[in-house]
Structure 1
Amino acid sequence: MNPHRKLWRRARQALTLGFFILVPVLLFTVLKNLDWQEVRQALAAYHWSTLGMAAGVAWCSFALFSSFDLLGRHYTGHHLPARQVLPLAFVCYAFNLNLSAWVGGIALRYRLYTRLGLKVSTITRILSLGLLTNWVGYFAVAGSLFVCGLPRLPAGMEIGNTGLRLIGAVLLLVAIAYLLACAFATRRTWRFRKHPITLPGIRLAALQVLMGACNWSLMALVVFTLLPEGADYPTVLAVLMISSIAGVITHIPAGLGVLETVFLTLLQGTYGKGTLLAALIGYRAIYFLLPLLIATLVYLLLERLASQRSAGERSRSTG
């Protein structure tokens, strides 16, 4: 065997072993830090129809986010069927939310797509387009809300409402600039470390903005469904926009504590602390924990199917 191929094979085996050790450790860390009694009590306080509605909205959000990888399929031209792409993307999104982007969004996606036969360069382009879809949607939604003065910040916050409007204007300009570049740029391809970066067409770019914006809106709708009457939906969506970026900045897996702090700070005049915490615990259970449990089972199934395919290919090559 070629020495380089032998070295690469050993490196892949080591990475696989490390991955199988890392994922259970991170899962244990996340689940250990939860107060399961508190989760049970918060969910028990809701009517089953409310929980069912929130779960339905969460399912729509996960289905939409998983479809980002279908945009990646169109963008890269690979031919994996949707029945393979969607479960893979669902697993990556659930792990991404709970265990950080490095584990779910990057490492897991590279592993699973590689086992399906895609090249690293193709996976990189799929990953890049998915990240861009998510964040250009965020810029469009957050920018629009911040420009409109939502959410109203409490007195004394350093950034102030004027500063938030300026940030919103910048976010909107970035989203618009991206669309204009995709529509009118004469140079469509650049190279970054020998990897080509190609602007998508305006139709694909517009679909990116729409899908990304809709997914963020569905996430906020889960929280809004679990809250009693009080704050309007645009305000809840705007608060979620701030809490999400705060979670990214702090690099805390699942934004544990960050989400709750931002909601309690910005909506304390509308809801009591207990009401807000119950809704946010329900949100975590429905949008984070339940998908994570399902994704773990789906991941094990995907690994088993990939192992069966690899064994079949080896038997055919030696037969």
Structure 2
Amino acid sequence: MKKLSEFIWPLIGLAAVVVSGYFLYQELKTTSLAAIWSAILAIPPHRILLAAISTLVAYAALAWYDRIALLHLGVRHISWLFVSLCSFTTYALSHNIGASVFSGALVRYRAYTAKGLSAAQVAVLVALCSFTFFLGTVLLGGFTLVVDPNLLTRLEGKLPGFLTDPKTALVVGFCMLGFVALYVLGSILRLRPLHIRSFKLEYPRPGIMARQLLAAPLELLGAAGIIYFALPEAMNPGFIPVLAIFLASFSVALASHAPGGLGVFEIVFITAMHITDDAQKDAIIAAVIIFRIFYFWIPALISVIVVVLFERSRLAAAIAAPAAVPSTVPEPPVVVPGLDAHELERELKQKAV
């Protein structure tokens, strides 16, 4: 019998799409497709180019996630090109399908087992990549709140007063940065794993930790840059506010389990941008559409082609040499920050059948 969670999370995602769709409709009912299209056409070509470059930066950093995890595993025989294609395909599909770890894990399982990795090693890789993203979100989130504690005042009237207080923002920001500092010290000093109930935090080698702290912010800065460059200069609040709003919107969208965060990302972003008139609303919707096109839809189309070509090559290789079985690389101890790699390995094997 399948786990109840396999049915619950898709239902939660569907409910999130419906609810956010309703609120999004309430926000957009005073605008029109023609107005939004005009706002898209009004974006200068050079800013579209900068948004495209930001997309390349984001996906290059995502490829670095995988490379970092492979270095953690002691795996060095897989080429950068293969890692980049696998990472690109994984994230392009999982961004559109939903936030589930397994939507990306299955693609990696198919790809990396073909290069000799075992299911346990793929589970470690997936878990470490997920934690790297989490670490970057906490780091940048804490940074934005400390640098500009007035950010939460944008949500006055929509959240309880104490949550929008700048003092609250400072406390939360410093706590987030403190978590990252603890992780850094734990890695440098090789501290024992930190246990908080069912949560377990193990510290990787300092070199791996340093790479995580570079790759994750770079990816998030690139992704936020897409929207930043697509916004008109006249109403652009600046990169720090856009980054903070993006982090909040993307995190809520992931937590909702809605496919691609559809509707959830948009309603949070529009609300936090503190719109004062319909012209601003049209411009923000246009920027979000550009973000979806560059970060979600174009990569998804390319990834489908990559998957088809990869599976075709595997099928051809299997027909040509059915007895050939790739040798697995030696497995290091399973050390995964914050996630149970053994449980993930079991899920991977079940879903791959």
State the partner residue of 1:19.
Answer: none
CA 1:309–1:235 in structure 2 vs 1: closer, same or farther (change >3 Å)?
Answer: same
Q: Residue type matched to 1:56 in 2?
A: I
Matched, 1:121 2:120: yes
Q: Can you list the C-alpha shifts for 1:135-175, whole angstroms capped at 9, x where unaligned?
A: 11111100111223152433222222333333222221111
Q: Can you list the C-alpha shifts for 1:278-303, whole angstroms capped at 9, x where unaligned?
A: 11111111111111111111111111
Is contact 1:147–1:165 with CA below 8 Å preserved after alignment? yes
CA 1:186–1:274 in structure 2 vs 1: closer, same or farther (change >3 Å)?
Answer: closer
Matched, 1:293 2:301: yes
What is the alpha-carbon distance in structure 2 between the residues aligned to residue 310 and residue 244 of structure 1? 40
State the partner residue of 2:82.
Answer: 84
State the partner residue of 1:147.
Answer: 146
CA 1:150–1:291 in structure 2 vs 1: closer, same or farther (change >3 Å)?
Answer: farther
Matched, 1:64 2:61: yes
Q: Residue type matched to 2:46 in 1?
A: S
Provide the TM-score with structure 2 as the length reference.
0.72
Q: State, as a whole percentage, how many aligned pairs show the same letter.
A: 25
Is contact 2:89–2:307 with CA below 8 Å preserved after alignment? yes
Q: Residue type matched to 1:172 in 2?
A: L
State the partner residue of 1:97.
Answer: 95
Number of matched pairs: 279
What is the alpha-carbon distance in structure 2 between the residues aligned to residue 203 and residue 123 of structure 1? 20
Is contact 2:227–2:288 with CA below 8 Å preserved after alignment? yes
State the partner residue of 1:11.
Answer: none
What is the alpha-carbon distance in structure 2 between the residues aligned to residue 262 and residue 54 of structure 1? 21
What is the alpha-carbon distance in structure 1 between the residues aligned to residue 229 and residue 136 of structure 2? 22
- 1:119 to partner: Cα distance: 0.1
Poorly superposed stretches of 4+, deviation over 6 Å: 37-41
Which runs of structure 2 are paired with 1:1-319 in the superposition (5 Å)?
43-78=40-75, 79-102=77-100, 103-148=102-147, 149=149, 151=151, 152-156=153-157, 157-158=159-160, 159-161=163-165, 162-187=167-192, 199-229=203-233, 230-269=236-275, 272-314=280-322
Of residues 133-142 and 165-174 in structure 1, the stretch that sits farther from structure 2 once superposed is: 165-174
Alignment gaps of 5+ in structure 1: 1-28, 191-196
- 1:316 to partner: Cα distance: 6.0
Alignment gaps of 5+ in structure 2: 1-16, 22-32, 196-200, 326-353
What is the alpha-carbon distance in structure 1 between the residues aligned to residue 177 and residue 126 of structure 2? 23
Q: Can you list the C-alpha shifts for 1:59-108, whole angstroms capped at 9, x where unaligned?
A: 12101111211111211122222222110111001111111233532222
SS at match of 2:319: helix
What is the alpha-carbon distance in structure 2 between the residues aligned to residue 186 and residue 242 of structure 1? 31
- 1:187 to partner: Cα distance: 4.0
State the partner residue of 2:329.
Answer: none
CA 1:131–1:226 in structure 2 vs 1: closer, same or farther (change >3 Å)?
Answer: same
Is contact 2:86–2:108 with CA below 8 Å preserved after alignment? yes
What is the alpha-carbon distance in structure 1 between the residues aligned to residue 232 and residue 43 of structure 2? 10
Provide the TM-score with structure 1 as the length reference.
0.79
CA 1:245–1:85 in structure 2 vs 1: closer, same or farther (change >3 Å)?
Answer: same
What is the alpha-carbon distance in structure 2 between the residues aligned to residue 106 and residue 177 of structure 1? 28
State the partner residue of 2:341.
Answer: none
SS at match of 2:78: coil
Say what the alpha-carbon RMSD is for the aligned residues.
2.8
- 1:227 to partner: Cα distance: 0.4
Q: Can you list the C-alpha shifts for 1:12-66, whole angstroms capped at 9, x where unaligned?
A: xxxxxxxxxxxxxxxxx9xxx9xxx788766444343332221121012101111
What is the alpha-carbon distance in structure 2 between the residues aligned to residue 283 and residue 315 of structure 1? 46
What is the alpha-carbon distance in structure 2 between the residues aligned to residue 133 and residue 307 of structure 1? 33
CA 1:250–1:201 in structure 2 vs 1: closer, same or farther (change >3 Å)?
Answer: same
What is the alpha-carbon distance in structure 1 between the residues aligned to residue 280 and residue 269 of structure 2? 11
